[in-house]
Amino acid sequence: MKSNHLDYLPLDKLQEKNILVTGASGLIGSAIVEFLLENTSAEVYAMFRNRDVGEFRFKKHLQNSKLHFILGDVNEPLATKHTFHYIIHAASNANPTTYSTDPVGTIWTNINGTRNLLEYGRRHSLERFLYISSGEVYGNGEQSVWSESDCGFIDNLDARSCYPSSKRTAETLCLCYADQYNVDVVIARPCHTYGPSFTDNDNRAYAQFVRKARDKQDIILKSSGEQFRSWIYIEDCVMGILTVLLNGKNNNAYNIADEASNVTIKHMAETIAQIAGTKVIFQIPDTLESKGYSKMQRAIFDTSKLQELGWAPKYSLKQGLYNTIYNI
């Protein structure tokens, strides 16, 4: 992911630094690793649980001496003695079905995994910790647009709240480490992010749509599709995350979204179908699958705070979806 619009980013801060990226086989984590390898001279430590998956994802970078693999689970203390100047924590359970099948594991990973990394960082000369949270932390409310200071309702008596509730708690944990131990912390809250490097077990709506489009099959929409969402293409998301890492203010959270890509799930499905030359059909989801769906009906995010740091999206919704469909 070589980028040509970097003038506003002080990438020199990362030269010769050690950067740990967790969740490095996922959509966002892998794209961050690739960006760092192609645009900086940093030593990049990609952390994931399966070496084969990592080697496949980064096959074109395997000969790069700046790329290092760390095999492990964030739920366990880091089994290394490296000093990481920056930790970008992108590891999280992002598979909605798992919110139904393993809500306890979802909570545990988001909270305990974050604690393990913060604890390691504060004891090993960490310069900045970036936590990749989620727009789901906003919950439901009356707002037409969510800004970073807003806080909506999350039903604590619904097991599906395992994801947004634990993301909220992890954010608070980060700020507690900042307050108690002077850890430099920033938080990124990406909206619904799409791109070609999603994993095989990713069953989020857009990933299902794209697989169908790739195979020239009709796209199956398992709801009315009226839920309104902010969307962003992966390259724009990564640029937003790096903007938060390098230009963000300590103890602050930043929304990452493309305000020109605020559309319903139905519109997203129809756009993908149009690009692929197929059509959208409706289907009722099974009980287990529907239990994993987000309860947010309107997830539109204000990005003025991020734009003040110099960031702006580059890809339109149609451009990003075209790149996604024809590069998976």
104-129 pLDDT tens trace:
999 999 999 999 999 999 999 999 99
Q: Per residue in 279-293, pLDDT tens?
A: 999 886 666 555 655
Q: Which of 53-67, 130-144, 195-209, 284-298 has the highest mean pLDDT?
A: 53-67
pLDDT exceeds cutoff 70 at 258: yes
Cα separation, 77 vs 56, in Å, equals 26
Could you tell me whether strands 219-221 and 252-256 are parallel, antiparallel, or unpaired per DSSP bridges? unpaired
Burial of residue 201 (number of CB atoms within 10 Å: 0-12, 13-18, 19+): exposed
Query: Tokens standing for 214?
Result: 């790739």
Rounded Cα distance between 166 and 240, Å, is 23
Can you tell me the distance from the alpha carbon of 220 to that of 55, in angstroms, rounded to the nearest whole number?
A: 32
Question: Over the stretch 142-174, which tens digit does the pLDDT of each residue have?
Answer: 788 999 999 999 999 999 999 999 999 999 999
Beta strands in the chain (DSSP E): 18-22, 43-48, 67-71, 86-89, 128-132, 185-190, 192-194, 219-221, 228-233, 252-256, 258-264, 280-282, 298-299
CA angle 256, 211, 98 (to 5 degrees): 65
> What pairing do the DSSP bridges indicate for beta strands 67-71 and 43-48?
parallel
User: What local confidence, expressed as pLDDT, does residue 290 receive?
Assistant: 58
pLDDT band at 213 (very low <50, low <70, confident <90, very high): very high
Distance CA(219)–CA(213), nearest Å, equals 7
CB 224 within 8 A of CB 266: yes
Residue range 11-201+231-261+299-316 forms a domain whose CATH class is alpha beta
**Chain segment 85-103, per-residue pLDDT in tens:** 999 999 998 788 889 899 9
305 vs 323: CA distance, rounded Å:
28
What does the pLDDT read at residue 210?
Answer: 94
Roughly how many angstroms between the first and final C-alpha of the chain, as a whole number? 15
pTM of the entire structure?
A: 0.94
